[in-house]
């Protein structure tokens, strides 16, 4: 299969509709007598958005662990991702001052969405915990691969609800929200790409795997070019700060380094374990870079 060079406008439009990201928000304040209490609006949005990335981080780690690729790192990543997912859900529902999420959630619709994520999460969590405990069977991996997209969808519904609740419309410029959504989606796509490229060379491959991988590669690559260089025709401005520009240059260098391996996987070429482990590490580093850039954009677009 040849590398995908899809039209950016089509790819971005489809990807953005299917994979919403984070919108920026002012800190919301609740009145208590004459004092104002910071409820952690930005943190609630940011951490709820991170659940989507973790929903892809877990099957990525599980697939590599089951195949014995970077096994020690995969095991640590899987264990920490499960713990973090649980911690974020608990914080969003009951509060966690250490994350600057101050006080429990009180809005019924938001609580219902949190509980929906929790219910959807349980089968994925059980299989992931079994793998962490040493049972890296095909059965547990298959559960993770069957359930992860359900968790991603539930997480996206939650972040939409929390964003609508805690964003201040007076401070939210539509173009800024669009940019933050694209950037936030990029960190999740690094893990989708890592997951599908692992699955494509495993016994769990499906007829849709190659298409999912090629689509994610196209969306990430074209979005990165637009973020770095700007693309006014689709509403993407150039980076607003030198720091963001530098971060996107780092991401571009990291992406360019891993793309040949991804194209080799799509072409059906044999990938040895050393190359697969390097791909796994490179995409994790790219995720870290995009996570940092997401934070820079959120800070730069606050009003």
Read off the CATH number of the domain in which 285 is found. Answer: 1.20.1420
Q: Which of 114, 145, 170 corresponds to the end of one domain?
A: 170
Read off the CATH number of the domain in which 111 is found. Answer: 1.20.120
160 and 180 together in one domain: no
Q: Where are the alpha helices (DSSP H) in the chain?
A: 8-18, 41-66, 71-94, 108-132, 138-166, 174-199, 209-229, 242-267, 273-300
76 and 97 together in one domain: yes
pTM of the model: 0.83
Q: What is the pLDDT of residues 11-59, one digit of tens each?
A: 333 333 333 333 333 344 443 333 335 678 878 888 998 999 999 999 9
Q: What is the mean pLDDT of the chain?
A: 86
281 and 197 together in one domain: yes
Q: Which of 154, 170, 186 corresponds to the end of one domain?
A: 170
Q: Which of 155, 170, 185 corresponds to the end of one domain?
A: 170
43 and 148 together in one domain: yes
Q: Where are the alpha helices (DSSP H) in 99-208?
A: 108-132, 138-166, 174-199
Where does the pLDDT of residue 76 fall: very low under 50, low under 70, confident under 90, or very high at 90 and above?
A: very high
55 and 122 together in one domain: yes
**Separation between Cα atoms, residue 191 and residue 197, nearest integer Å:** 10
Q: What is the pLDDT of residue 201?
A: 93
Whether the CB-CB separation of 266 and 163 falls below 8 Å is answered with no
20 and 38 together in one domain: no
How many structural domains is the chain composed of? 2
Q: What is the pLDDT of residues 239-270, one digit of tens each?
A: 989 999 999 999 999 999 999 999 999 999 99
CA 53, 56, 62: angle at the middle one, nearest 5?
135
Q: Considering only 127-136, 188-197, 294-303, which range has the smallest mean pLDDT? A: 294-303
**Separation between Cα atoms, residue 3 and residue 233, nearest integer Å:** 24
CA 18, 19, 23: angle at the middle one, nearest 5?
125
**Which segments within the chain are labelled E, that is strand?**
29-32, 35-38
20 and 72 together in one domain: no
Q: What is the pLDDT of residue 176?
A: 64
Which residues span the domain enclosing 221? 1-24+172-303
296 and 265 together in one domain: yes
Identify the residue whose tokens are 């969003």: 92
40 and 149 together in one domain: yes
Number of C-alpha atoms within 13 angstroms, CB side, residue 274?
0
Q: What is the pLDDT of residue 136?
A: 96
Identify the residue whose tokens are 């079994």: 130
**Separation between Cα atoms, residue 214 and residue 4, nearest integer Å:** 6
**Separation between Cα atoms, residue 172 and residue 22, nearest integer Å:** 12
């Amino acid at each position: 299969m040849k590398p995908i060079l899809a039209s950016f406008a089509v790819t971005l439009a489809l990807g953005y509709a299917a994979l919403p990201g984070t919108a920026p928000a002012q800190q919301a304040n609740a009145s208590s007598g004459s004092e104002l209490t910071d409820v952690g609006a930005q943190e609630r949005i940011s951490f709820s958005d991170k659940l989507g990335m973790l929903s892809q981080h877990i099957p990525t780690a599980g697939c590599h662990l089951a195949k014995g690729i970077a096994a020690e790192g995969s095991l640590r990543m899987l264990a920490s991702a499960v713990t973090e997912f649980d911690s974020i859900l608990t914080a969003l529902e009951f509060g966690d001052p250490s994350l600057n999420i101050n006080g429990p959630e009180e809005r019924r619709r938001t609580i219902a969405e949190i509980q929906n994520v929790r219910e959807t999460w349980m089968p994925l969590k059980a299989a992931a915990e079994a793998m962490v405990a040493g049972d890296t069977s095909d059965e547990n991996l298959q559960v993770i691969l069957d359930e992860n997209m359900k968790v991603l969808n539930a997480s996206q519904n939650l972040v939409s609800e929390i964003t609508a609740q805690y964003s201040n419309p007076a401070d939210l410029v539509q173009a800024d929200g669009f940019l933050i959504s694209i950037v936030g989606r990029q960190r999740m796509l690094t893990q989708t790409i890592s997951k599908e490229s692992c699955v494509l060379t495993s016994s769990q491959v499906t007829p849709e795997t190659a298409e999912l991988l090629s689509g994610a590669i196209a969306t990430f690559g074209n979005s990165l070019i637009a973020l770095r260089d700007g693309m006014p025709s689709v509403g993407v401005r150039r980076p607003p700060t030198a720091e963001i520009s530098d971060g996107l240059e780092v991401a571009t260098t990291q992406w360019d380094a891993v793309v040949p391996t991804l194209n080799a996987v799509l072409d059906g070429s044999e990938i040895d374990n050393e190359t697969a482990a390097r791909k796994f590490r490179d995409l994790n580093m790219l995720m870290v870079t995009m996570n940092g850039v997401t934070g820079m954009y959120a800070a730069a677009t606050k009003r």
